[in-house]
Structure 1
Amino acid sequence: MIHVDWLKSMARDGLFYGSFIAVIFILLNWFTG
């Protein structure tokens, strides 16, 4: 079984890395646009 705490930590990391990658893509589009 998958632990709920593990899912919560994965969701937190996913949101953090997702926003980080989104900022990188926005900067790349801004510099190359």
Structure 2
Amino acid sequence: MRYKDLKEEILLSCIETQVGYIKELKEEIKE
């Protein structure tokens, strides 16, 4: 695995984690 690919993988997983976190926050606000 090249370094660039690794960086992109980490970036994508960070974005996915943040998106999931924001969705959970929105659900909590709705209740």
Q: Normalised by the size of structure 2, how large is the TM-score?
A: 0.74
Q: Does 1:10 pair with 2:8? A: yes
User: Structure 2: which 5+ runs fail to align?
Assistant: none
Give the aligned partner of residue 27 of structure 1: 25
Identity %, equivalent residues: 6
RMSD: 1.5
SS state at 1:28 partner: helix
Cα displacement (A) at 1:30: 1.1
Q: How many residues align?
A: 31
User: Structure 1: which 5+ runs fail to align?
Assistant: none
